[in-house]
Structure 1
Amino acid sequence: MSQQLLINCNSRCLVAFVVVSVVVVFAGLTEASGQIDVDEDLKHLIGRCHRDDANLEAYNDCMKQVFNDLRAYFTTGVPGYNIQPFDPHHSSFVELRRGDPHGPGSFKLILRNVSEYGWSRSEVTKFHSHAEDQRIVYAQYFPEKSLEGEYEFVAKMLGTELRRQGHWNLTLYDYSQTTSVRRVGPPGSLLKVHVEVDRIGGMELHIGNLLQGQPLNQLADGVINSMWQLGLPFVRPMINELVSTAFTDIFNESFRLFPLDKFLS
């Protein structure tokens, strides 16, 4: 195969990956209706948007519409292709570390059994494809997104250790984020996901057992929920890292080995 054909194939593979990565999350059509064949529907949807370097804006608008037209299927997934639902979607383990555990200051945060809700009400507002580095970038708006799970927190400060664990839940209002998905090699290689928080209009957070005793916990919740805007610039990088780590695992589990060639004409 010539180099030009390889370049064209890579471009087509990216386009197919873009469509399939989103469509198959939404389109549990076989399970939702026995009268619709999911493979045929995927073939139809992959051909819906035609990439034209002379008019990338029209292609990006088309892809944005594909995302939004199919969001109702976020709740189903496609079990036949091991595609898990995204509303709610689940992450069993996410870890964040800072500092040297043997030094004067460090902390470790582990989130377990995290469930996230609100994806079927979300809207993709911008979409861009980058064929040269096999990457897509899309902005997404959520009127409301909620998360819950269990946490473990260990911190060491000047020789003193602090340990906390319990249940937590978080609700975000008027929330938007930008997601970048990139394949780091040929088809079948790992996917890398990076998520950036763009805006949080409102937030309610509860962290169980953060302080000793129910009155103190209620006081801590009140302080956090009334002053979170002040702390957001400092915690935003950690939020981005936690979410990006979780979604890299989720996307690789669902999409890395999806049989794209089956749907390429």
Structure 2
Amino acid sequence: MSQQLLANCNGLCLAAIILLVGGIALASNQIDIDEDLRHLIGRCHRDQASDGDYNDCMKQVFNDLRAYFPTGVPAYNIKPFDPHHASFVELRRGDPHGPGSFKLILRNVSEYGWTRSEVTKFHSDVEDQRIVYAQYFPQKSLEGEYEFAAKMLGTQMKRQGHWNLTLYDYSQTTSVRRVGAPGSLLKVHVEVDRIGGMELHIGNLLQGQPLNQLADGVINSMWQVGLPFVRPMINELVSTAFTDIFNESFRHFPLEKFVNQS
């Protein structure tokens, strides 16, 4: 059963491993990439008594290899993941020709904190070609550039500038599913589970430095009140970015080289 589970995982389990370890083979020039991957997979299908044992093993693999997040695996075109980068993410709401709408574009986003993260749960769904894992971050930080345009009752607003965000005591759940045969697209959905603390700065949000400082103060003191309303938009932004990252690195990963080998 465990070997069948691994074979049917269809690349997602391996992709998640590599995403989380961020580069298995570059810690030493003597390490062989393929041998490491075979060994890594073998840990989680050899002599496993149940699906639960397999899931626990996968969770432990993720956490054993956190030190390699910053390196990436250039041999398989897998980029570093601490920090990881998203060049463009867009969110739109409303009809631009109607009474109200807005568009938010984030560019050159860098995200830090993955090396200190911990996977707390892992689950694989063979029939749906899906893996789901929960992850905890004591601290995660992001920064980049933004462009914001809004229209409300005929009034136009446009802003752009630098932004940075730090999250404390933060957890999220990530679901990764392949939508077809091997080589087809991967779909990623991220849900924010908990934010214990937050610090956000948005440059040029209001005109003038004193007003910007005031806006930062209001946002950072009132974010818990607004979180239920903005959480769906955060989930959408992060899911869009991670779908691009997964497909760029893992869509064509040569899984056949590593499955069903002991």
Question: What range is the shorter-chain TM-score in?
Answer: over 0.9
Query: 8 Å contact 1:154–1:164 — kept in the other structure?
Result: yes
Q: Distance in 2 between matches of 1:237 and 1:111?
A: 16
Q: Compute the displacement of 1:103 (Å).
A: 0.2
Q: TM-score, normalised by structure 1?
A: 0.93
Which structure 2 residues correspond to residues 1-265 of structure 1 after superposition, within 5 A? 12-14=7-9, 17-23=12-18, 26=21, 28-50=23-45, 55-264=50-259, 265=261
Q: Compute the displacement of 1:101 (Å).
A: 0.3
Runs of 4+ with >4 A deviation: 8-11, 51-54
Give the superposed CA RMSD. 1.8
Q: Distance in 1 between matches of 2:40 and 2:81?
A: 19
Deviates more, 1:145-154 or 1:67-76: 67-76
Q: Distance in 2 between matches of 1:108 and 1:24?
A: 30
Q: TM-score, normalised by structure 2?
A: 0.94
Q: Which structure is higher in helix share?
A: 1
Query: 1:229 is aligned with what amino acid?
Result: Q
Query: 8 Å contact 1:170–1:206 — kept in the other structure?
Result: yes
Higher relative contact order (CA 8 A, sep 6+): 2
Q: How many residues align?
A: 258
Q: Percent identical across equivalent pairs?
A: 81
Q: Distance in 2 between matches of 1:229 and 1:199?
A: 11
Q: Which runs of 5+ in 1 are unaligned?
A: 1-7
Query: 8 Å contact 2:113–2:139 — kept in the other structure?
Result: yes
Query: 1:108 is aligned with what amino acid?
Result: K
Q: Distance in 2 between matches of 1:51 and 1:222?
A: 54
